[in-house]
Amino acid sequence: MKRIGIVGTGSYLPERVLSNFDLEKILNTSDEWIYQRTGVRERRIADPDVNTSDLAGEASLRALEMATLSPKDLDLIILATITPDTCCPSGANWLEAKLGAQRAVSFDITAACCGFIFGLSVATQYLMTGTFRNALVVASEVMSRCQDWTDRENCILWGDGAGAVVLQSFDSSNDLLERHKNDRIGEILSVLIHTDGANGQNLLMPGGGSRTTPISYESVDKKLHTLKMIKANESVRVAVKRFSEAAEEAASAHGIRVSDARWIIPHQANIRILQQMAKRLNISLEKVYLTIEKYGNISSATIPIALDEAFRKGSIQKGDYVILTGFGGGLTWGSSLLKW
């Protein structure tokens, strides 16, 4: 069976910073109130003329540069997003064109905040069967475009950005190591995914699909095209449970403990969820790689952004286990175990 290596990582955040103090000017809120409840101090916001595929393109080029590959080497492009440039064509199609990746097959995956892990799962299947050799998995979101900016409970959480990884298949672990013997690259040991469609209504964007066709003044006035968080307290309890179970599943599948991992890199949903997850897993919060304070919740993009940051900072070293774990609307959850 082929081995799958992460041979490049990349991320991109828009330059504009929206701080809690900025939100104080438009909402009945405060920096202290937001930070205590979410762990967010600031988030990045894309300029009006910047689309999801633009953010994805920047992250992709950085990942390709690390992998010493060009867009023309790509066989497969998977874009995880709930905020594509357009529903048709897909966001991945726009990205393929912008990269000039003419050989690649491209398509989107919609799994909300767990989209990146679902993208890894699909890509690894193609690579393991030998259908493709080089794959780009990107998660990119412009969450600022689907917010009700009068909803102080919800809009304070979200930001914009993109993260990417380049995957490559190898005939054996020796081949993988030989290909990049002078580099520190990761190997995907497993990807595990789950869904629970019966409870998907708890995180919902009601408009934009066939349920509200055609889009009307009424649907816009009712803000049906903005993200709704329903039964927030119940969602938190479920998220903590699924985050933790997914991390444990990834570790136990390879006979290690969660505590053996150098880092847990979770979806950055809310600091309270991550604190409870760490407590449930019986690990220190210092073992959880956090970016939520400076970037907020970027849905599917939070995990690859944090992974790229940790790798480029040197926080991930040779021999380290890293567990990725996510939970999102759908409901979707999953995990991946990596080893450097």
**Is residue 180's pLDDT more than 80?**
no
Residue of 49, 120, 129 whose CA lies nearest to 80: 120
Q: Is the pLDDT of residue 182 over 60?
A: no
Domain boundaries, the chain: 3-185, 189-339
Q: Which CATH number fits domain 189-339: 3.30.2080.10, 3.40.50.2300, 3.40.50.300, 3.40.47.10?
A: 3.40.47.10
User: What is the arithmetic mean of pLDDT over 128-150?
Assistant: 93
Q: Quick check: helix, strand or coil at residue 160?
A: strand
Render pLDDT for 94-116 as a digit per residue (tens, 0 to 9): 999 999 999 999 999 999 999 99
Element (H, E) at 84: none
The interaxial angle of helices 302-312 and 52-67, nearest 10 deg, is 30
Of residues 237 and 89, the one with the higher pLDDT is 89
> Long-range CB contacts (< 8 A, 24+ apart) of 150-156?
150/27, 151/226, 152/27, 152/28, 152/29, 153/229, 153/232, 154/227, 154/228, 154/229, 155/27, 156/20, 156/23, 156/27, 156/29, 156/34, 156/38, 156/40, 156/296
Sign of CA dihedral 20, 22, 27, 29: positive
Find the mean pLDDT for residues 150-161. Answer: 91
Q: Is 267 a catalytic residue?
A: yes
Is 183 a residue whose pLDDT tops 90? Answer: no
User: 334 pairs with which residues across the strands?
Assistant: 193, 326
pLDDT higher than threshold 90 for residue 209: no
- State yes or no: pLDDT of 213 exceeds 90: no
Ramachandran region, residue 260 (left: φ > 0; alpha: ψ -120 to 50; beta: rest): alpha
Q: What pLDDT sits at residue 192?
A: 96
pLDDT given at position 215: 78
Given the residues 51, 93, 270, 297, select the one marked as catalytic: 297
pLDDT higher than threshold 90 for residue 139: yes
| Whole-angstrom distance, CA of residue 86 vs CA of residue 80 | 13
Question: Of 3.40.50.150, 3.40.50.300, 2.40.128.720, 3.40.47.10, which CATH number belongs to 3-185?
Answer: 3.40.47.10
Look at residue 199 in the predicted model and tell me its pLDDT: 78
Whether the predicted pLDDT of 327 surpasses 70? yes
pLDDT score of 176: 64
pLDDT > 80? residue 24: yes
Q: What is the mean pLDDT of residues 139-143?
A: 96
* Calpha distance 144→147 (Å, rounded): 6
Q: What is the pLDDT of residue 272?
A: 93
Tell me: pLDDT of 225 over 80.
Answer: no
Q: What's the token pair of residue 26?
A: 């438009």
Please state the φ and ψ torsions of residue 129, each to the nearest 5 degrees: -85, -10
Annotated catalytic residue: which of 113, 114, 146, 155?
Answer: 113
**Residue 282 catalytic?**
no
Q: Average of pLDDT values for 73-100?
A: 96
- pLDDT (0 to 100) of residue 323: 97
How far, CA to CA in Å, does 150 sit from each of 230, 279, 319?
16, 33, 47
Residue of 134, 146, 202, 267 with catalytic role: 267
Fold matches, 3-185 and 189-339: yes
What is the pLDDT of the chain when averaged over all its residues?
91
**What does the pLDDT average to over 234-253?**
89
Measured distance CA(333)–CA(326) in Å, rounded: 5
165 vs 243, residue with greater confidence:
165
Does the pTM of the predicted model rise above 0.75?
yes
Q: Convert the pLDDT of each residue in 54-70 to its tens digit.
A: 999 999 999 999 999 99
Provide the β-strand partners of residue 170: 3
Beta-strand ranges (E) seen in the chain are 3-12, 17-19, 42-44, 76-80, 105-109, 134-142, 160-170, 186-195, 203-204, 228-229, 263-266, 321-328, 332-339
225 as an active site residue: the answer is no
What's the pLDDT score for residue 219? 76
Query: At CA 293, angle to CA 37 and CA 63, rounded to 5?
Result: 140
DSSP state string for 270-287: -HHHHHHHHHHHT--GGG
Residue 49: the pLDDT is 96
Residue 324, pLDDT > 90, answer yes
Find the mean pLDDT for residues 254-281.
95
Residue 152 in this model has a pLDDT that exceeds 60: yes
CB 77 within 8 A of CB 138: yes
